């Protein structure tokens, strides 16, 4: 098996992602908690921890960064909605914490839904 294939192909699927796009999506998902905190600055009273200092003024963080974070979170939610609900939490846990997949489905099923999720995320972010 080609080592590059593991990053791009789901077992028995025609979905293919370039390695760079695959990893970019993985890191966007792993950055979810920071993106949520940053996007919360859309609310004027929100606080954000930036380099261990609490920022209460949204003007300190660029408006573009806040809207970019909100856009990435919106794309992530769209991608999550493209997979069955029973796999969502497990896939996020696998991507963010590198936790093993649940044992109620075959590993190939998990890998397929993981790639579908990442493919939909890449599409929503206009990476493919």
Q: How does pLDDT run across 11-35, given as a tens digit for each residue?
A: 556 778 889 999 999 999 999 999 9
Domain membership flag for residue 95: yes
Would you state the pLDDT for residue 104? 85
Domain membership flag for residue 42: yes
- Where are the alpha helices (H) located in the chain, listed in sequence order? 5-8, 19-30, 32-39, 63-80, 85-97, 107-124
Would you state the pLDDT for residue 17? 86
Domain membership flag for residue 104: yes
Say how far apart CA 35 and CA 37 lie, in whole Å. 5
Domain membership flag for residue 3: no
Bridge partners, residue 48, by sequence? 55
Would you state the pLDDT for residue 53? 58
Torsion over CA: 55, 60, 65, 42 (sign): positive
Domain membership flag for residue 27: yes
Domain membership flag for residue 24: yes
Say how far apart CA 108 and CA 118 lie, in whole Å. 15
Q: Residue 90: give the domain boundaries.
A: 17-124
At 61, list the tokens.
Answer: 């963080």
Q: pTM here?
A: 0.76
Q: How does pLDDT run across 46-72, given as a tens digit for each residue?
A: 555 555 555 555 556 677 788 888 999
- Structural domain total, the chain: 1
Q: How confident is the model at residue 82 (pLDDT cuts 50, 70, 90)?
A: very high
């Amino acid at each position: 098996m080609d080592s590059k294939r593991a990053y791009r192909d789901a077992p028995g699927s025609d979905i293919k992602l370039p390695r760079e796009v695959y990893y970019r999506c993985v890191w966007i998902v792993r950055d979810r908690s920071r993106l949520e905190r940053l996007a919360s600055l859309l609310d004027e009273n929100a606080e954000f921890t930036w380099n261990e200092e609490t920022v209460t003024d949204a003007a300190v963080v660029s408006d573009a960064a806040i809207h970019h974070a909100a856009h990435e979170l919106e794309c992530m939610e769209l991608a999550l909605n493209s997979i069955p609900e029973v796999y969502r939490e497990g896939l996020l846990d696998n991507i963010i914490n590198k936790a093993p997949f649940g044992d109620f489905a075959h590993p190939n099923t998990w890998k397929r839904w993981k790639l579908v999720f990442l493919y939909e995320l890449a599409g929503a972010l206009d990476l493919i």
